[in-house]
Amino acid sequence: MKIQLRHPGGWVLAALLSAAAQAAEPLTLAEAQRIAETRSPQIAANRAQEAAAREMAVAAGQLPDPVLKLGVNNLPISGEAGWSLVQEGMTMRSVALMQEFTRSDKRQARSERALREADLASMSQRLALADTRREATLAWLDVAYQDSMRALLASQIDELKLQQQAAESAFRAGRGEQADVFANQLASARMQDQLAQMQRDIAMARARLARWIGEDAERPLATPPRLDTLDASLGNPDETLNQHPTLAAQQGQVALAEAEARIARENRKPDLAVELMYSQRGPSYANMVSLNVSMPLPWDRANRQDRELGAKLAQLDEARARQEDMRRAYLSELHANLAALQNSRERLQRYDDLLIPLSTRQIDAALAAYRAGSGSLTRVLEARRMVVDTRMERQRVALEAARAWAQLNFLNPQEGTNVPQ
């Protein structure tokens, strides 16, 4: 039986259209963060490091492996009994088993150190996650706001083209001056150059975004999220900083230094080793059993073990000092970004309520006067340039506010609140 496929090209076309639609779907900020998280090799490395440290925590708490010894002692090499294992009474074939009994406190300290390394790796993973989210967010915001400025310039260039046609028509009809035509062309050329610079900046911003999300950086971006959903007070700054991943990782360094100091303190106490040996002699002689106990003698403890402990305690002081210095630095950064966000919000309100409406009314008045013959094209171009500059500056302020929000969101990471809706 033959099966005939009807219109096979339709299936291919549908698949291509589906793939194209998916590729053209706007990339939201939340999706960019998720893609960056899944692509980050640093997060995977920290996860593997944590798993390795937790495995080591179990191994560090165990006794060392016993040592098996096999040997031949007092073997004659000359005379009638030369190279004989049974004729000489002192010749012994021996088997021994030795076990070092590491103190339980020392084994527990080593296990605790490995656990602190695992905790530090977990905190480093959280830090890498926050860093990845922040950098992807900043790159996404750069592309989004610069693309909005590009669209603004493109719309103004289109309006200048219409105005250019009107100026040329007026000049040909004897109602305008040739200087107006050249002035309009010059204004359009300047905006074209400004647009080229903006396209260069967008390409560079997309390259930075591709560092985190790969080829998805070429997708069109969704509308930037609202930034007024972030609590400007951020609660208690000290409590906020306690949640900061960098400070949490530094606290992990302090805990690790404490564990290192504890190991150095326990190393001042020697461990015992016990050896049991069975020795077999010739058939005419008795076999023997030996029991040996050994331990190191810390005869120069002041210059060895105590020095090691002093070094670990100094490293602990260093870790604590670095933690405090980092806490102060991030507290200053927290207040600085909070002030920047509040200032940018106030400026945005001023642009929306006052500056942009005034510039719009100015261009409307200049156009009305020009069409009525009582105003010059130069005044219209100046008013249009003012509109463009005002709207562009408004977008730059919005980008500053967005970047300050991203930094604050990194300083105060909360699960599920990385992107305001």
In a domain, 19, yes or no: no
Which pLDDT score, from 0 to 100, does residue 289 have?
A: 97
Residue 119 has pLDDT above 60, yes or no: yes
In a domain, 115, yes or no: yes
In a domain, 298, yes or no: yes
Q: Is 27 helix (H, G, I), strand (E, B) or coil?
A: strand
**SS3 sequence, 233-245?**
CCCCHHHHHHCCH
Dump pLDDT digits (tens) for 195-216.
Answer: 999 999 999 999 999 999 999 9
In a domain, 15, yes or no: no
Please count the helices (runs of H) and the strands (runs of E) in the chain: 10, 4
Q: Which residue has the higher pLDDT, 17 or 283?
A: 283
Q: Lowest-confidence range among 37-46, 348-357, 381-390?
A: 381-390
Q: Is 247 helix (H, G, I), strand (E, B) or coil?
A: helix
Which pLDDT score, from 0 to 100, does residue 171 have?
A: 74
Range of the structural domain that residue 287 is part of:
33-411
Instruction: Report pTM.
Output: 0.77
How far is Cα of residue 155 from the mean position of the Cα atoms in its chain?
37
Which pLDDT score, from 0 to 100, does residue 379 have?
A: 82
Shortest CA distance to 224 belongs to which of 338, 348, 137, 133?
A: 137
Which pLDDT score, from 0 to 100, does residue 175 have?
A: 67
Residue 229 has pLDDT above 60, yes or no: no
Dump pLDDT digits (tens) for 78-117.
Answer: 888 888 888 888 899 999 999 999 999 999 999 999 999 9
Q: Could you tell me which residues are beta bridge partners of residue 73?
A: 92
Residue 412 has pLDDT above 80, yes or no: no
In a domain, 324, yes or no: yes
Quote the DSSP letter at residue 376: -
- Alpha-carbon distance 254 to 326, whole Å? 13
Q: Is 272 helix (H, G, I), strand (E, B) or coil?
A: strand
Q: What does the longest C-alpha to C-alpha distance in the chain come to?
A: 139
Buried b (16+ CB within 10 A) or exposed e, 384-406: bbbbbebbbebbebbbbbbbbbb
Question: What's the pLDDT band for 3 if we cut at 50, 70, 90?
Answer: very low
Residue 262 has pLDDT above 60, yes or no: yes
Buried b (16+ CB within 10 A) or exposed e, 50-72: beebbebbeebbeeeeeeeeeee
Buried b (16+ CB within 10 A) or exposed e, 234-259: beebeebbeebbbbbbbbbbbbbbbb
In a domain, 420, yes or no: no
- Alpha-carbon distance 377 to 370, whole Å? 6
In a domain, 419, yes or no: no
- What domain count does the chain have? 1
Q: Which residue has the higher pLDDT, 94 or 176?
A: 94
Q: Which residue has the higher pLDDT, 345 or 177?
A: 345
In a domain, 248, yes or no: yes
**In the structure encoding, which two tokens stand for residue 268, read together?**
């001042």
Residue 225 has pLDDT above 90, yes or no: no
Percent of the chain past pLDDT 90, that is, above it, reads: 56
Percent of the chain past pLDDT 70, that is, above it, reads: 88
Cα four-point dihedral sign 115, 116, 118, 123:
positive
Which pLDDT score, from 0 to 100, does residue 82 have?
A: 84
Which pLDDT score, from 0 to 100, does residue 421 have?
A: 43
Q: Which residue has the tokens 């998720």?
A: 34
pLDDT (mean) for 222-227: 80
CATH number at residue 118: 1.20.1600.10
Residue 21 has pLDDT above 50, yes or no: no
Question: What's the pLDDT band for 10 if we cut at 50, 70, 90?
Answer: low
Q: Lowest-confidence range among 32-41, 42-51, 235-244, 263-272?
A: 235-244
Q: Which residue has the higher pLDDT, 415 or 167?
A: 167
Which pLDDT score, from 0 to 100, does residue 416 have?
A: 43
Shortest CA distance to 122 belongs to which of 58, 54, 50, 57?
A: 50
Residue 51 has pLDDT above 50, yes or no: yes
Which pLDDT score, from 0 to 100, does residue 411 have?
A: 66
